[in-house]
């Protein structure tokens, strides 16, 4: 296991940095916002807490939550236009700095492609660097499930994405940053995991992560100290 000093060195020399999105890059949990928008907020928020705490499998929790919400195509688009995701303070500056250093930035999320792509656009991250779950709709716009073949649809999926990125781009050092259990379990194959508690603190992650931050300024400082 790498020491904190070694982890900081890995971060400063990373080829790629992967960010979780909900409660990390943005302040909200996208699925909870969608649930509120569709009128089933409380029931779904409780399911999300259980999923993030690592007590149920991710796919089971996702299936159950979406079965309750049953969002239509129109509702998803209206959520994005009426209540766009709020970026976490400091993330824009951090992503810009990583881009300036030639570091590839990826968004790896258990959230939904359409919402995550909207976030990517704001951060100048190409949509090809977005890995998220895809909602499916019938021709009339009604909810038809989600694409269960996406790696991010199941527990361990974020690790699969990182393995794929390492194979495809021959990255030597990949860092994963996020707030939840699914982010922490992506290391390995990630070379370093940084826990983020700036929006919500997950007890399990705070206790187990060797490097835990509550503001992205802490990572900007690391990059400036070189």
pLDDT tens for 20-61 read: 998 899 988 888 888 988 888 888 877 766 665 656 777 888
Q: Are residues 48 and 61 in the same domain?
A: yes
Q: Are residues 199 and 162 in the same domain?
A: yes
Residues 6+ positions from 167 with CB-CB distance below 8 Å: none
Which residues are known to be catalytic?
A: 20, 22
Q: Can you give the pLDDT at residue 84?
A: 85
Q: In 84-133, where do the E strands start and end?
A: 104-112, 130-133
> Is pLDDT at 14 greater than 60 in this prediction?
yes
Q: Are residues 172 and 193 in the same domain?
A: yes
Q: Are residues 67 and 156 in the same domain?
A: no
Q: Are residues 63 and 143 in the same domain?
A: no
- Give the dihedral sign, CA 171/164/176/77: positive
Q: Are residues 185 and 138 in the same domain?
A: yes
Q: Are residues 70 and 95 in the same domain?
A: no
- The domain boundary, picked from 47, 80, 113, lies at 80
Q: Are residues 188 and 140 in the same domain?
A: yes
State the Cα angle at 60 between 186 and 71, rounded to 5°: 105
Q: For residue 62, what is the domain's CATH number?
A: 1.10.150.210
- The domain boundary, picked from 20, 52, 80, lies at 80
Q: Are residues 40 and 116 in the same domain?
A: no
- Per-residue model confidence as pLDDT tens digits over 148-206: 888 888 778 888 999 989 988 888 888 899 988 888 888 889 898 988 888 877 877 77
Contact 32, 19 (CB under 8 A): no
| C-alpha separations of 116 from 13, 19, 170, 207 in Å | 26, 11, 25, 28
Contact 215, 60 (CB under 8 A): no
Number of domains composing the chain? 2
Q: Are residues 7 and 101 in the same domain?
A: yes
Q: Are residues 195 and 109 in the same domain?
A: yes
Range of 67's domain?
A: 32-80
Q: Are residues 88 and 143 in the same domain?
A: yes
């Amino acid at each position: 296991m790498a020491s904190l000093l070694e982890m900081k060195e890995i971060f400063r020399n990373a080829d790629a940095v992967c960010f979780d999105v909900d409660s990390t890059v943005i302040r909200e949990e996208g699925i909870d916002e969608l649930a509120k928008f569709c009128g089933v907020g409380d029931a779904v928020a409780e399911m999300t807490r259980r999923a993030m705490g690592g007590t149920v499998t991710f796919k089971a929790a996702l299936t159950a939550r979406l079965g309750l919400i049953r969002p239509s195509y129109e509702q998803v688009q209206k959520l994005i236009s009426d209540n766009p995701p709020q970026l976490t303070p400091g993330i824009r500056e951090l992503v810009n700095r990583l881009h300036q250093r030639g570091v590839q930035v990826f968004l790896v999320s258990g959230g939904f492609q359409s919402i995550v792509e909207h976030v990517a656009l704001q951060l100048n991250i190409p949509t090809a660097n977005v890995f998220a779950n895809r909602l499916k709709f019938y021709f009339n716009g009604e909810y038809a499930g989600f694409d269960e073949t996406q790696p991010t649809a199941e527990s361990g999926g974020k690790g699969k994405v990182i393995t794929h990125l390492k194979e495809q781009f021959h990255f030597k050092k990949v860092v994963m940053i996020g707030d939840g259990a699914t982010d922490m379990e992506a290391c390995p194959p990630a070379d370093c995991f940084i826990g983020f508690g700036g929006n919500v603190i997950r007890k399990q992650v705070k206790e187990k992560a060797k490097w835990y931050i509550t503001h992205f300024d802490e990572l900007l400082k690391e990059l400036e100290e070189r």
